[in-house]
Amino acid sequence: MTFVYDGGTLDEVGTADIPLPPDELRRWAWCTEEQIRERTSELLARRVVAALRAKAEGTVFDR
């Protein structure tokens, strides 16, 4: 199961403070939907895009 949380809007100061747990995350980046599909597995891309659409539509998707 994957959970995606909306952390609100972040500015440069807020993004500078994002911790990178050394054993879990090496880096992060802002990405377009196309870049998400290029950088992640097909399964993860579908989940992230569904989360973005749910946010935009003010709803949830359970699959």
Q: What is the pLDDT along the chain (63 residues), one digit of tens a residue?
A: 556 666 778 888 888 877 777 787 777 788 889 999 999 999 989 988 988 888 889 887 766
Kindly list the distances between the CA atom of residue 52 and the CA atoms of 5, 21, 23, in Å, as whole numbers in the listed order.
Answer: 11, 24, 26
Is residue 52 a part of any domain in this protein? yes
Is residue 51 a part of any domain in this protein? yes
The pLDDT of residue 63: 60
Is residue 38 a part of any domain in this protein? yes
The span from the CA of 52 to the CA of 40, in Å, is 15
In this prediction the pTM is: 0.65
Domain that holds residue 45: 32-56
Domain count, the chain: 1
